[in-house]
Amino acid sequence: MEQINRKKAFGFLVIVTAIVFSLLLVSIPTDTLFGYIGTENVYLFMFLVAFVGSLTTFASIPYPLILFGLAASGVPPFLIGLASAMGVITADSFTFVAVKRGRVLVNDKIISAIEKLAIYIKKYPRLLNFGLILYGTVSPLSNDFAVISLSLMKYKFFRVIPFLAIGNIFYNVGIAYLGVYAYDWIANFI
């Protein structure tokens, strides 16, 4: 009993920290945040911007716009896309572990509904790999939806994150190449 209470207290702490951190990020203007990041290396800069932008669902920086601009400005698109994807994947990994820790705090009804979905997914295990790659590549939704749901379903880290990572690499490198080939067209369109 005492152990459950301790787990709940730790989970509560994780969630409160995440909310406070999220609100702090939202209230910081991008220019100030760039100052905090303070690196002159474009790849490290993109990694950190993508990391911060992906750490919470409501984070302050829409990092694909920065990636798009950097690629258009002359930075090698594959490398900058890869740096961005690494930032996103690192943030997703933190989220996955944090949700696992905070699972004890989630309402039993939600857990029960998620477990029903888990039973359905477990019928088609190979589809999950493909689904995660596809989700990471083309979904306009935040990765958090997949990461949080699968973490609550008690999926193992290496069953989820590597496949989502492949999708994220496709997505970020794709955005970077869009910056190279479509920047002027999109800038004129806007």
Residues near another protein (CB under 8 A) are 26-31, 34-35, 38-42, 45, 53, 57-66, 69-76, 79, 140-142, 180, 183-184
In terms of phi and psi (left: phi > 0; alpha: psi -120 to 50; beta: otherwise), the region of 61 is beta
The nearest distance, CB 4 to another protein, in angstroms, is 33
- Phi/psi of residue 107, each to 5°? -55, 140
Report the largest interatomic distance among the alpha carbons of the chain, rounded to a whole angstrom. 63
The nearest distance, CB 71 to another protein, in angstroms, is 8
The nearest distance, CB 117 to another protein, in angstroms, is 21
Query: With respect to another protein, which residue has the nearer C-beta, 11 or 51?
Result: 51
The nearest distance, CB 23 to another protein, in angstroms, is 10
Query: With respect to another protein, which residue has the nearer C-beta, 12 or 181?
Result: 181
Residues 63, 54: Cα–Cα separation, whole Å: 8
Query: With respect to another protein, which residue has the nearer C-beta, 108 or 184?
Result: 184
Query: With respect to another protein, which residue has the nearer C-beta, 42 or 111?
Result: 42
DSSP string covering 72-109: HHTS-HHHHHHHHHHHHHHHHHHHHHHHHHHGGGS-HH
